[in-house]
């Protein structure tokens, strides 16, 4: 059982965002929706929290109002086995107002930062010389290209 569960603070879009994320990732679902009651900061019946799973990992979304905004200090990493996976997550998460950033980073339409990365990244970083060549290639990219990263790692 997962012992650490991220909680994502939204103004009023917690359910909308959870449904959006669930539509993108396999093995995902909404588990529970709770609502504000009487004498709470938002009108009674407004969605308070949404617990959901993305690829089997637990998350919570909270409608807490406009007090806090997402920033790049925290991001969610999606480890991908293939270029097709990278392309899929990249296109889905940048759609409808999302923003490409650099080095495999993007912001979705809610402002949440994501890193769409090859699963081999950690393995590549074990070798300081080859890993440095690979990182030099990463620094030149927006969306990561596994074949080009592998070629840089291999010295080609």
Backbone angles phi, psi at 5, to 5 degrees: -125, 120
| DSSP symbol at 94 | H
Closest CA to 89 of 74, 105, 75: 105
pTM score of the predicted model: 0.94
Query: In this predicted model, what pLDDT tens digit does every residue of 118-146 receive, in sequence order?
Result: 999 999 999 999 999 999 999 999 999 99
Distance CA(143)–CA(75), nearest Å, equals: 15
Distance CA(115)–CA(113), nearest Å, equals: 7
End-to-end CA distance of the chain: 43
Query: In this predicted model, what pLDDT tens digit does every residue of 16-55 receive, in sequence order?
Result: 999 999 999 999 999 999 999 999 999 999 999 999 999 9
């Amino acid at each position: 059982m997962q012992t650490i569960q991220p909680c994502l603070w939204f103004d009023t879009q917690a359910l909308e965002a959870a449904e959006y994320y669930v539509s993108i990732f396999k093995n995902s679902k909404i588990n529970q929706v709770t609502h504000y009651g009487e004498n709470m900061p938002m009108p009674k019946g407004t969605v308070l929290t949404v617990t959901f799973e993305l690829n089997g990992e637990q998350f919570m979304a909270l409608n807490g109002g406009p007090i806090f905004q997402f920033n790049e200090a925290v991001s969610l990493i999606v480890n991908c086995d293939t270029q097709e996976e990278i392309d899929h997550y990249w296109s889905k998460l940048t759609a409808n107002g999302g923003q490409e950033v650099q080095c495999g980073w993007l912001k979705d339409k809610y402002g949440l930062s994501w890193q769409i990365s090859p699963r081999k990244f950690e393995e590549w970083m074990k070798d300081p010389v080859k890993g440095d060549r690979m990182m030099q290639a990463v620094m030149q990219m927006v969306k990561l290209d596994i074949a080009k990263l592998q070629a840089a790692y291999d010295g080609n």
